[in-house]
Amino acid sequence: MNSDRRPGVLPAAGASGAARRGRPAPSTRATQVLPTGPAGPRGPVGPASTVTPAGSPAARPRAGGHRPPSAPRGADLWTGVPVRTRLLAVLVAVAAAVGIVVVWEVFVATRTGQVIEDYAYDGALTGRTRLWTVAEPVLGVVSVSFVVLGTLAAILVALVRRRWLLAVQALVLVGGANLTTQVLKKIVLERPVFDSEMWWTNSLPSGHTTVAASVSVALLLTVPRLARPWVALFGAGYTAATGISTLVGQWHRPSDVVAAVLVVLFWGALACALTTRDAQDPGPADDRPRKISAPKGSSSAWVLAILGVAGTGAAGVALWALQQTATVVDGSGQPFTSQTELVAYAGGAAGVVAATAVSFGLLLALRQTVARPRSTASRSGQV
């Protein structure tokens, strides 16, 4: 027996007979070092000493194994959206709330504002017979069933996409916007009486416009990323058509419609500010691969450009008409004629288009920003 043999060291496979007789093996031959257990070199090895090669079948996850839950939990619920983006959405919501107050103060709480809108109200008689054939069907769509079906459609889209909290946000947005409109119109805001208009009660904001805008924004929040630009464009067009139709039918004045759009902008921006990880778009770190974004020059940029141009142009027309009408009201311009009513009417319709285009453009930009695809860092709560 060779007394130099150390416990736990065995010659490698293929060692020469000289190595077995105690002579040192050539330096090119490797030796295998076995872990020493309680029973010696050939005894049992503890669990901590077990080593599994990386490529072995045991190291691969088995089919049907545990996967991380897709629903966010705890602090991870709010990860993925930078704080500055949330603050931007809050600022938009605050600006919308301030805008509602300003619109009421200028066009309802002052005699000059009321007279300007009275001109727009009376100007709706121009061409009403022909325009009402188009406006009446548009207003006929807005009903309780439309609110219910539109809201359910937005919720269904969110549930199919497994965005549970987003479905709740859509429901809260529609309910909150329409409840806010009714509370403002019937409880909070009043219409001061000037001259002999005691019969006209407060009608700001417009309920029909709120319904059309809130359902459109709910769909904008819940649909997939690539569909949002087209939903925003269609929703803006439908909302503007509904608002202008209320002017044609003399159901509302322009300030009523603009205030309604601002109410929905407030709730939509607030929903974006409270975006959860559940409402974000899937990213490359998600469990299942999918297309996450469009290339540069995508539909979002085109739709934002269209809404921006429409909003800017309509705002210019509205400001011009407002200035022309105001000079007639305060007596510093030309005397009142039937053309004054037509200019005021056209300016009011342009103001509705401007407010709608700008609001939907802001909401599209906010929604696409807060819903940017999640990254690996956001999934681990590091963003």
Question: Which residue has better confidence, 120 or 26?
Answer: 120
Give the separation between CA 192 and CA 202, rounded to whole angstroms. 9
Specify the 3-state DSSP secondary structure of 40: strand
Provide the mean pLDDT of the chain: 81
Non-local (6+) Cβ contacts of 51 within 8 A are none
Rounded to an integer, the average pLDDT of 287-304 is 62
Q: What percent of the chain has pLDDT over 70?
A: 73
Question: Considering only CA atoms, which of 19, 20, 45 is closest in space to residue 34?
Answer: 45
Specify the 3-state DSSP secondary structure of 297: coil
Interval 245-274: pLDDT, tens: 999 999 999 999 999 999 999 999 999 999
Interval 183-208: pLDDT, tens: 999 999 999 988 655 567 899 999 99
State residue 375's pLDDT score. 54
Question: Which residue has better confidence, 88 or 296?
Answer: 88
Check residue 31 and give left, alpha or beta (phi > 0: left; psi -120 to 50: alpha): beta
Q: How far apart are the first and last CA of the chain?
A: 66
Angle at 362 (CA atoms; ends 103, 277), nearest 5 degrees: 125
**Per-residue pLDDT band at 278 (split at 50, 70, 90):** confident
State residue 87's pLDDT score. 96
Tell me the whole-structure pTM to 2 decimals: 0.77
Catalogue the E-assigned strands of the chain.
Answer: 9-10, 32-33
pLDDT above 80: residue 43: no
